[in-house]
A and B are shown apart, each in its own frame.
Chain A
Amino acid sequence: MNDNSDQFLRTLRQTLARRHHAIGWICLLIFLTLGASLETLHGLKVGFYLDANHSIRREMWTLSHAHGTLLALVNLAFAGSLQRWGRWAESRLRVASHFLMDASLLIPLGFFLGGIAHSEGDPSVGVFLVPIGALLLFVAILLTVLASLRARS
């Protein structure tokens, strides 16, 4: 039973590691592309991005780019560490994995949507995705910390 369980968990860790590895690189590609696009908007002095009345958009999209890129790196780190360190229970591992993936989507998406149809002083309602994503990320990181603190069998 334990051997089967360990085997299942190893397989699951491998599967999830591959998944986060792929997601990490894909996110990195997407958000570095977004970064390059934002630089292009700067270079071309595009009004809807640089005008004073769109400073919220500039801020939101910059945050989207930054958080997306960082979360891509977090996914890669998660994938790299998953097979080597930490003691995971299956359910916790699944929750952490799901929440990390959801957060990687919700946080940058929330910031990006917040910069569309914003008012002068506030982002648009899409920004409410960010605290939800942040909460999921917090749970995922907490579970990872707990798993890391436990000695690996």
Chain B
Amino acid sequence: MLVLCYSFALAVVSLVMYLHLSKTVCRTHAAVATLGTAGFLAAGLAWFSFPLLADSPKPVDLELVNHVTSVSCRKCHESHHDSWHRSYHRSMTREATAENVKGDFDSVSYRVKGVTSHMTREGDTFFMETLDANWADQIFRAGKQPSDFSQVPLKKFRVDRLIGSHWLQEYLHKDPAGRYGRMPLAYHIVEKRWIHMSGAFLAPDNPHFYAQFGVWNETCVYCHNTKAQKNRTERPWPLSSGVNYRTEVEELGIACEACHGPGAEHVRANSNPLRRFDLRRTGRPDPTIVNPARLTAQRSAEVCGHCHAGAVPIPGAWENTHRDPYTPGQELTRFYNFFWSSPQQIALGTGTESAGDDPYDGRFWRDGTPLTTALEYQGMALSACYQNGTSGMTCLSCHSMHKSDPNHQVSEGMRTNQACYQCHPSYQDQLAQHTRHAAESSGSLCYNCHMPYQAYSLLDSHRSHRIEVPRVKNSVGTGKPHACNLCHLDKSLAWTQRTMSDWYGQAVESMSDEDEHISASVVLLFKGDARSRGVVAASFSRPASQEASGTSWMPEVLLRAMEDPYPAVRYLAFRALRSLPGQHDATFDYLAFPTDRELQIEKLFAEIPKLTNSDRQKYPAVPLRGEHNVDAPAISALTRLRDNTPVTINE
């Protein structure tokens, strides 16, 4: 069709040209000029039409297509490239260059766990001098820790690569076997300080200096890069035991082809300008590339789910090179099995039987709601909006990779209730009636009740991606904080139940004495497991929660929480304390030795203003009494009942 149009246009141009010229010059010259022009244009037509016909849109097996990297994409998609370049996806894994390193390597020292590490820079090369890993292993086996020694052996490691650029930056050292090992210190970008990795994840204090050691080639490579191939080989006897890695990635970080598939065929086919104009004119999809927005809802969600879902590789579906076989647009479950609980994850990963029906695990709340980030796909898939929605909800219903703020990549306008009004427009006119909160208040933001901050990762809480009605029954005995109690921190779960029952007719559940009478946040902060404690502690620093709950009662509660055995919980409690009026200058090192932390807490205790009786009466569910603000015996009683189930969430 395009060729016909072009031929017709050529004939018309030639005719007009001849008629025009024949009036001004002799016919011979006119004819020569016209024929020359027509010949030139016809040659152009022939030049372009053959490849055009050859490249007419037809299905392409992208599995067989090569990758080209984002440099090639930039030539034609500059603004998309720029928006991706601003994103934290791009910088998820980088080489350790001056441009990419966020940590302070300006000859600084950082002392933690009895080890003073030195971070230095020599030209464009970065070094971390820290505890020798072999020695750390030896003393750990002997039941000792570095602080038991007056001197410890240090080793200088070159930093070769890094992970992350948003919240935390972790550093990798490459050993002769091609293994990129995670260094024991990370830079907490949010706080602009060095931390030990034990303070980066939700895990208890561990005496082993390398307790959080990880191998990038094994644990990070697939989701933090584009089309990775692990290439892990066992070192043959008698050389030595162990493994070699020749890990390859098509591009470091999460680049264009992670979502759009391999681009070599797309680049080749679209070097023909007529093809590009034809595709633009007709609006047809280009089969040489994947556009997640044009996929079905399920396939589109799986593009994100490739990394934002809990999934375990299906052994038989992968080649020996361990090259990630998934290509965007394909059915993800051809290559991965989703898991919906940690026991299921273990069973799928190891081939052993499931740990049983006990739903208690590290990465899901007891009601099955995903508890960490990187499980957003599961959260959405469990949502009624996704299961029953008629409009094909996908990640792209609220997120955009190219038209969004890099922070969370929520589409323009979708940070507001507009996100939900897309499918629930009727609430627009009756918002306050539905929420029972002022329309402009945070209590009327749909997200706060239906996607509350119930997920944990990276030393913060994040919105749950399970869009659900906040039922009290899902918070009774599950450890999952109720949405209402993440803002109304001073109120008990029973208060929430009464309110939900009055307003929405929710069924009344039986609950424990603590849930009946004590603030739900206080109960979870001292009696809950580490996951509940972390998520609740994070909520104390949110302005909406402070506005809804008042802040005068919080300092002492948070100081008690700063005694928590989990560094991450201590950090979140301190962060909340520091956000309170009059506490901005508070200092506390959540990774210091216990004795040092006690001293710091004592000092902070002494500076807390005492509550008046009228203040105390305002918060009947918060255990406040006596000389100090907090009812210490009540807190101690809760702490004695603490759920000490070990939790390690490396997210």
Q: Interface of A with B (CB < 8 Å)? A: 51-53, 55, 90-92, 94-95, 98, 119-122, 125, 131-132, 135-136, 139
Contacts and interface: CB of A to CB of B under 8 A. Distances in A.
B249 interface: no
A121 B33 contact: no
Given A91-B29, A98-B24, A135-B40, A122 B82 contact: no
- Interface SS of chain A: helix, strand, loop or mixed? helix
A53 B41 CA distance: 31
Contacts of A132: 13, 37, 41
B25 A52 contact: no
B608 to A, nearest CB: 50
Interface in B1-35: 13, 21, 24-26, 29, 33
A92 B33 CA distance: 10
B80 interface: yes
B29 A95 contact: yes
A52 B276 CA distance: 20
B interface, size bucket: 20 to 34
A120 B80 contact: yes
Those 10 A-B pairs whose CB atoms lie nearest each other, nearest first: A121-B76, A53-B79, A91-B25, A52-B82, A52-B79, A91-B29, A94-B24, A94-B25, A91-B26, A55-B78
Interface in B67-122: 75-80, 82-83
- Interface SS of chain B: helix, strand, loop or mixed? helix
26 contacts: A52-B79, A52-B83, A53-B78, A55-B79, A90-B25, A91-B26, A91-B29, A94-B24, A95-B21, A95-B29, A95-B33, A98-B21, A119-B276, A120-B78, A120-B79, A120-B80, A121-B75, A121-B76, A121-B276, A122-B273, A122-B277, A125-B277, A132-B13, A132-B37, A135-B41, A139-B33
Nearest to B21: A95
Contacts of B144: none
A136 B75 CA distance: 30
Contacts of A55: 78-79
Given A95-B25, A122-B276, A139 B78 contact: no
B609 interface: no
A91 B414 CA distance: 67
Nearest to A91: B25
B280 interface: yes
Contacts of A95: 21, 24-25, 29, 33
Given A91-B29, A95-B29, A122 B76 contact: yes
Given A52-B78, A121-B76, A125-B277, A135 B37 contact: yes
Interface string B292-324: 000000000000000000000000000000000
Interface in B24-72: 24-26, 29, 33, 36-37, 40-41, 44
